[in-house]
């Protein structure tokens, strides 16, 4: 019987332990004799072989077998077990092995028949047995070598939620607390039932804390044995106390050699299991346990621990992950082993999880108090998480080194923003979501899944604060995220996106947004407000710049689909193309402001003219918006580069009126805002001066005077190599210079006025200001046209028809032309490439001729060139008369070229008037006598028709398949000329009538 608690008599030795070692010695000796007899029989057969060869063979084979056995023993950890056995100093057990060997020697005569039989076996039996044993040893060695992992494992893509295993991996600065706790456990007196509680929420690092403490215990005291019991692995087993004792036994025997420990544990296991039934050939046997009590057996186990002078620390982890019933079983199992005075228990749990609902809260807390002697609560300081996000992740010792450093660098900007959030006033709202390392790893893994490392966030419009909030909703509130995704994708604008009230000029939330937020959980509602609530965001209609409009998630209107871009990034891992981001153009403009040449910026791959000219359009727009701050050098570079690049841009109406046409107004903006003065401060101080330091410099740039002699913009726009489209550019430039069009080019308007009269006024009626300002530029432009076309008698209409297609597509837009040609090659509607180019030709004819010939005064649509005389200050329509003479006597004159009649008819078909038919409100285009002349003189047109009517009638039958394409309609000779002829007859009648009246 084992000693009771109060009985100090000596325990009976474990006889089975000694018996086992005796048998090992006896059997080992017998195996040696058997090997000797088998080997001797084989050696006798080799007696005829020379002694040298035989000795060499024996040595080689013996060494090979010895090495095989040695490698096998090392791989199985025999050296560790041997060291443990030797350190135990169990001489008594060694004596039992020797006694077994000696006993085998004493009774060997009784085994003589067996030995004689071994002597008489076949001589090859020895080598056969040896080969069999070598094969048995070699097979697992080979298999083990094959299964070994590569010495250079591939880098992990995601962060695993592995606990910290040493102090070098501790990123939350908990080493001092670990040391203090570990010292307390070591210095505490070994008492029965001493239990420490480590309390903290999931993810706070309880397991990592115990790992660090375990390293400290094992280094500080070699007598300590740590047993890690994981109840989650055995939650389904009926008796956790038995499993706990077994794990405790295994942990102890891995550290020390205690052969008598296993029998004591086995007896305890049989005791708690009760009787066992065994069926044998139909007979049922019942085995009853011994009469020992559980306390007596635990005392035996405790005595073994005392004898080997070891202390056991039993760690029960993840207690709060079990259901209530299993948790109680674990606690009672621990309670049953409290007899082990050499054992100290450490329980890791979260009280709030164990407490459960409010009804069970107080009861669960009281229940824990019965078991926990000393309690330690773990907390994570948000400053540690913040420091980790900002810099500590770069340390090679931390677990984030499992992913490439360049990947983490690309995520660094988001991590920095998250650190700023945790350092701000609203940190308490974010701590439940990213307040521990486990949640931070989960957040980083979400970014890796979105493949953010493959895209440079610095080159996107994503607001990092909004991105973080949306990722947190996606991770923690998937139902809410799905609602946002359903409402705000596929072009939809739901209750989350901010709406714009153009009438009141303000932003507002959807009327149901606040009600929806009120129904959400507290933290979810906070995140929604941070993303979409205008009361939180405090956006102002007038102060909100384009950078925020293109980046904040709350904007999801047709022109800024920001929220949808965020959602596509998170769900589909799609980032917008750089050309569709505002930041690309902002960064490009920033480079220009720093002195980088614009042509160098535009030569990068991001601005390659190919599938679209959108990138160039956006660049010039953003550049013009920033032009107020330009220095003179930057302004010169911008103006000169834009002039140079105009021929490279398409003028066809592909989606809109063409980049070339839009760029003309950008050029005027650059002139107005930065085309004069050295700096923005200089311009502010001298904006009203007419001297060299004032706005007059804009006019010098336009006309090529002063320091800009020979480099005037009017001259550059219609350079000989720019063809007819250069004149279209020039007339567009001139039209926007007219102040009555209500533009915002006030400096430019003033410059044109001051250029004619240094003492001129820039205040008063806009029509009067436009009339004065447009005189000289109109006369200059007509003078150039006269020199280029009228005097040489060149037909402008013919040159437009003969202009190469590539000029309309843009010199540098060959890829774009191929793209459009392939897309619309077989189409016959207005979108075909042929129709688009034909329409552009028509626009150039109509626009240039109209601007030069019309005599409309400044009434809001721009004063016409024809309103002025060719020179002087009188406005007697001299230019209009000259243009009418040129058009009818040169361009339309059939005696100069019979095809000129088609120019006339084409011109008429270009100017059909729009009417709405009563039947269904259908839009129709037809010829009228008021619409056909457009900017030309109706009387001159009527007289021309009277003179050439018969000739035109004769030519028309040969051209009935001819057509005229405009942006609004396609007119055909076969269908529309009849109405044209009718209107022309009316004009001719009016002209003849006017002549008779004049007579």
pLDDT for 381-403, tens place per residue? 777 787 777 766 555 444 444 55
Start-end of H helices in 489-605: 513-518, 522-532, 534-537, 546-549, 562-572, 582-593, 598-602
Q: What is the pLDDT of residue 15?
A: 66
Burial class of residue 918, CB neighbours in 10 A (0-12, 13-18, 19+):
exposed
Check if the beta carbon of residue 587 is closer than 8 Å to that of residue 459.
Answer: yes
- pLDDT at residue 288 greater than cutoff 60: no
Q: Choose among 446, 517, 457: nearest CA to 484.
A: 517
pLDDT at 446: 85
**DSSP secondary structure of 15-70:** HHHHHHHHHHHHHHHHHHHHHHHHHHHHHHHTTTS-HHHHHHHHHHHHHHHHHHHH
> Other C-beta atoms within 10 Å of 692: how many?
12
Buried b (16+ CB within 10 A) or exposed e, 844-866: bbbbbbbbbbbbeebeeebbbbb
Enter the DSSP assignment of 199. E
Looking at the predicted structure, is the pLDDT value of residue 861 above 80? Answer: yes
| Rounded Cα–Cα distance for residues 809 and 806 (Å) | 5
Rounded to the nearest 10°, the torsion over CA 640, 643, 648, 653 is 140
What's the mean pLDDT in 971-996?
88
- CB of 891 within 8 A of CB of 795? yes
Contact residues for 331 (Cβ-Cβ < 8 A; gap 6+): 367, 371
The answer to whether 952 and 984 have CB atoms below 8 angstroms apart is no
Report d(CA 52, CA 758) in Å as an integer: 125
pLDDT at 791: 96
* Contact of 729 with 646, CB cutoff 8 Å: yes
Residue with the bigger pLDDT between 333 and 646: it is: 646
pLDDT at 870: 95
Q: What is the pLDDT of residue 817?
A: 53
* pLDDT at site 995: 60
- The per-residue pLDDT for 156 is 46
Cβ neighbourhood burial of 180 (10 Å; 0-12, 13-18, 19+): exposed
Query: In this structure, are residues 103 and 19 in contact, taking their beta carbons and an 8 Å threshold?
Result: no
Q: Could you say which DSSP state residue 109 is in? A: G
CA dist list (Å): 848 to 131, 717, 935: 105, 14, 10
Neighbours of 80 (CB within 10 A): 11
Chain centroid, CA 690 distance in Å: 54
Q: Which of 694, 668, 687, 855 is nearest to 778 (CA)?
A: 855
Report the mean per-residue pLDDT for the chain. Answer: 80
Q: What does the alpha-carbon distance between residue 149 and residue 142 come to, in Å, rounded to a whole number?
A: 14
Relative to beta strand 970-972, strand 963-965 is: antiparallel
Neighbour count for residue 889 (Cβ, 10 Å): 14
In this predicted structure, the answer to whether residue 280 has a pLDDT above a threshold of 80 is no
pLDDT of residue 277: 45
pLDDT score at 275 = 45
pLDDT for 402 equals: 53
Pairing of strands 499-501, 506-508: antiparallel
Q: How distant is the alpha carbon of residue 843 from its chain centre?
A: 45
pLDDT over threshold 60, residue 3: no
Task: Find out whether 411 and 439 touch, Cβ atoms under 8 Å.
Answer: no
Taking 80 as the threshold, does the pLDDT of residue 324 lie above it?
no
**Which of 431-436's residues contact partners 24+ apart within 8 Å by CB, and which partners?**
431/382, 432/523, 433/472, 433/475, 433/476, 433/523, 434/385, 434/472, 435/203, 435/380, 435/382, 435/385, 436/201, 436/203, 436/204, 436/205, 436/380, 436/385
Q: How far apart, in whole angstroms, are the C-alpha atoms of residue 920 and residue 58?
A: 114
Q: What are phi and psi of 490, to 5 degrees?
A: 60, 35
Confidence label for 6 from pLDDT (cuts 50, 70 and 90): very low
Q: What is the mean pLDDT of residues 703-709?
A: 92
What does the alpha-carbon distance between residue 819 and residue 650 come to, in Å, rounded to a whole number?
Answer: 13
Q: Which residues pair with 31 in a beta bridge?
A: none
Categorise residue 677: left if φ over 0, alpha if ψ from -120 to 50, beta otherwise.
left
- The predicted pLDDT at position 60 comes to 78
Q: How many CB atoms lie within 10 A of CB 373?
A: 14
Q: Is the dihedral of CA 525, 526, 531, 532 positive or negative?
A: positive
Residue 50 pLDDT: 67
Taking the C-alpha atoms of residue 185 and residue 374, their distance in angstroms, rounded to an integer, is 10
Burial pattern 952-974, b for ≥16 Cβ within 10 A else e, equals: beeebeeeeebbbbbeebbbebe
Region 645-667 average pLDDT? 82
* Mean pLDDT confidence for 575-587: 82
How much is the pLDDT for 949?
93
How far apart are alpha carbons 673 and 698 in whole angstroms?
Answer: 10
Contact criterion met (CB below 8 Å) for 360 and 182: no
How many Å apart are CA 651 and CA 632, to the nearest integer? 30
Closest by CA to 494, choosing from 475, 514, 510, is 510
pLDDT band at residue 581 using 50, 70 and 90 as cut-offs: confident
Average pLDDT rounded to a whole number, residues 158-168: 55
pLDDT score, position 22: 79
pLDDT at 57 over 60: yes
> Once rounded to an integer, what is the mean pLDDT over residues 128-138?
80
pLDDT for 1 equals: 37
8 A C-beta contact, residue 342 and residue 191: no
For strands 374-377 and 195-199, give the pairing: parallel
Q: Which of 189-198, 272-281, 839-848 has the lowest mean pLDDT?
A: 272-281
Identify the weakest region by mean pLDDT among 233-242, 657-666, 903-912: 233-242
What pLDDT is stored for residue 942 in this prediction? Answer: 94
Rg of the chain taking only CA atoms, in angstroms: 49
Residue 520 in 3-state DSSP? coil
């Amino acid at each position: 019987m084992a000693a009771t608690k109060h009985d100090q008599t000596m325990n009976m030795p474990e006889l089975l332990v000694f018996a086992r070692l005796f048998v090992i010695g006896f059997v080992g000796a017998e195996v040696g004799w058997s090997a000797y007899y088998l080997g001797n029989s084989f050696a006798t057969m080799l007696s005829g072989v020379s002694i040298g060869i035989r000795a060499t063979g024996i040595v080689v084979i013996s060494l090979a077998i010895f090495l095989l056995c040695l490698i096998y023993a090392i791989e199985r950890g025999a050296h560790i077990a041997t060291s443990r056995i030797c350190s135990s100093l169990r001489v008594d057990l060694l004596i039992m092995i020797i006694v077994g060997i000696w006993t085998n020697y004493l009774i060997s005569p009784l085994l003589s028949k067996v030995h004689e039989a071994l002597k008489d076996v076949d001589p090859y039996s020895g080598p056969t047995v040896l080969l069999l044993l070598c094969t048995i040893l070699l097979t697992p060695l080979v298999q083990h070598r094959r299964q070994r992992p590569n010495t250079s494992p591939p880098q992990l893509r995601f962060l695993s939620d592995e606990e910290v295993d040493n102090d070098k991996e501790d990123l939350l600065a908990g080493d001092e607390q670990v040391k203090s706790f570990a010292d307390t456990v070591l210095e505490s007196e070994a008492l029965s039932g001493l239990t420490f509680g480590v309390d903290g929420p999931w993810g706070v690092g309880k397991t990592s804390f115990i790992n660090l403490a375990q390293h400290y215990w094992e280094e500080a005291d070699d007598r300590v044995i740590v047993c890690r019991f994981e109840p989650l692995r055995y939650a389904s087993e009926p008796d956790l106390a038995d499993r706990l004792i077994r794990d405790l036994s295994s942990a102890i025997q891995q550290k020390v050699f205690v052969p008598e420990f296993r029998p004591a544990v086995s007896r305890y296991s049989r005791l708690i299991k009760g009787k066992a039934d065994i069926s044998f050939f139909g007979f049922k046997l019942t085995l009853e346990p011994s009469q020992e009590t559980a306390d007596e057996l635990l005392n035996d186990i405790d005595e073994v621990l005392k004898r080997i002078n070891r202390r056991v620390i039993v760690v029960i982890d993840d207690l709060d992950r079990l259901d209530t019933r299993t948790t109680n079983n674990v606690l009672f199992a621990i309670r049953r082993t409290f007899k082990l005075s050499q054992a100290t228990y450490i329980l890791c749990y979260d009280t709030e999880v164990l407490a459960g609902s409010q009804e069970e809260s107080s009861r669960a807390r009281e229940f824990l108090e019965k078991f926990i002697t000393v309690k330690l609560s773990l907390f994570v300081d948000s400053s540690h998480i913040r420091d980790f996000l900002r810099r500590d992740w770069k340390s090679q010792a931390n677990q984030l080194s499992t992913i490439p450093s360049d990947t983490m660098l690309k995520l660094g900007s988001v991590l920095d923003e998250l650190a700023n959030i945790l350092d701000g006033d609203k940190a308490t709202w974010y701590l439940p979501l990213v307040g521990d390392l486990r949640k931070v790893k989960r957040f980083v893994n979400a970014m890796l899944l979105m493949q953010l490392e493959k895209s440079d966030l610095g080159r996107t419009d994503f607001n990092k604060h909004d991105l973080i909030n949306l990722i947190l909703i996606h991770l923690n509130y998937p139902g809410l995220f799905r609602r946002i995704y359903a409402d705000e994708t596929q072009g939809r604008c739901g209750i989350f996106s901010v709406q714009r009230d153009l009438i009141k000029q303000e932003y507002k939330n959807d009327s149901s947004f606040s009600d929806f937020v009120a129904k959400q959980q507290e933290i979810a509602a906070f995140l929604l407000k941070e993303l979409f609530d205008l009361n939180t965001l405090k956006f102002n209609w007038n102060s909100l710049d384009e950078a925020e409009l293109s980046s904040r998630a709350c904007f999801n209107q047709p022109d800024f689909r920001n929220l949808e871009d965020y959602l596509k990034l998170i769900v589909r891992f799609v980032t917008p193309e750089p050309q569709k981001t505002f930041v690309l153009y902002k960064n490009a403009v920033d480079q220009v402001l720093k002195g980088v040449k614009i042509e160098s910026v535009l030569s990068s791959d991001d601005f390659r003219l190919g599938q679209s000219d959108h990138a160039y359009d956006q660049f010039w727009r953003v550049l013009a918006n920033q032009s107020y701050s330009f220095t003179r050098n930057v302004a010169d570079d911008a103006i000169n580069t834009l002039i140079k690049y105009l021929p490279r841009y398409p003028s066809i109406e592909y989606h809109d009126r063409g980049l070339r046409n839009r760029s003309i107004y950008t050029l005027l903006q650059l002139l107005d805002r930065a085309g004069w003065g050295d700096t923005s401060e200089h311009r502010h101080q001298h904006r009203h001066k007419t001297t060299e330091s004032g706005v007059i410099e804009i006019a010098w740039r336009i006309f090529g005077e002063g320091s800009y002699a020979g480099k005037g913009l009017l001259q550059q726009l219609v350079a000989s190599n720019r063809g007819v489209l250069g004149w279209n550019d020039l007339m567009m430039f001139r039209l926007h210079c007219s102040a009555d069009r209500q533009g915002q080019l006030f400096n430019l308007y003033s410059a044109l006025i001051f250029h004619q009269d240094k003492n001129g006024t820039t205040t008063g009626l806009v029509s009067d200001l436009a009339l004065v300002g447009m005189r000289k530029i109109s006369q200059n432009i007509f003078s150039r046209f006269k020199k280029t076309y009228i005097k040489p008698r060149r037909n402008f209409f013919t040159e437009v028809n003969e202009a190469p297609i590539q000029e309309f597509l843009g010199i540098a837009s060959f890829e774009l032309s191929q793209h459009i040609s392939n897309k619309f090659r077989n189409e016959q509607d207005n979108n075909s490439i042929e129709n688009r180019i034909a329409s552009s030709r028509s626009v150039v004819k109509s626009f240039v001729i109209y601007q030069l010939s019309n005599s409309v005064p400044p009434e809001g649509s721009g004063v016409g060139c024809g309103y002025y005389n060719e020179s002087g200050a009188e406005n007697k329509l001299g230019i209009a008369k000259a243009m009418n003479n040129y058009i009818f006597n040169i361009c339309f004159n059939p005696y100069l070229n019979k095809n000129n009649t088609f120019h006339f008819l084409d011109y008429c078909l270009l100017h059909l008037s729009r009417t709405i038919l009563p039947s269904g409100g259908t839009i129709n285009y037809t010829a009228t006598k008021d619409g056909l002349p457009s900017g030309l003189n109706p009387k001159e047109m009527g007289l021309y028709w009277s003179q050439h009517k018969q000739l035109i009638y004769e030519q028309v039958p040969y051209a009935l398949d001819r057509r005229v394409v405009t942006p609004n309609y396609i007119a055909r000779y076969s269908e529309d000329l009849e109405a044209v002829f009718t209107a022309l007859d009316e004009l001719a009648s009016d002209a003849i009538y006017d002549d008779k009246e004049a007579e």
